[in-house]
Amino acid sequence: MRGLIQRVREASVTITGPDGAPIVTGAVGPGLCVLVGITHDDTEVTARKLAAKIWNLRVMDDDAGVMNRSIAETTRAVLIVSQFTLYADTSAGRRPSYVKASRPEHAEPLIDLVVSELRRLGADVSTGRFRTEMQVALVNDGPVTVMLEL
């Protein structure tokens, strides 16, 4: 499981509705935007570990401007967006291969578990929408971007 964590001033996910109008499915103010990729051998244990890591990772500034606090100690705001392309293999040719990315039937319940586990821990979680084309807008704060791999 991979999580690309970005500390943001704001972030949102928009999809196109049936009538062509944009629909915001999730948004946060200051907090974290986390793109989550699932691979074939990921399990519920991996999903819970990723949620705990997101919750406790010290990438938020303290009063002195040092990354010394977690999202649990600050805004509690997290936007989770499923992102199968985190498992792109670009080692050969010009077109990425996605064979390491899990099929939606396996990935979606694990993404849902990351979300529910973060909520159980106390996070205010917003999400994208699985199996849709999404437009993610964000203002990276810092910039701070951290890749987690479990």
Q: Amino acid letter at 83?
A: Q
Q: Which two tokens stand for residue 111?
A: 């993404």
Q: Which of 6, 14, 39, 84 is catalytic?
A: 84
Q: Which of 6, 14, 83, 127 is catalytic?
A: 83
Q: Which of 16, 43, 85, 132 is catalytic?
A: 85
Annotated active-site residue 130? The verdict is no
Annotated active-site residue 83? The verdict is yes
Active-site positions read 83-85
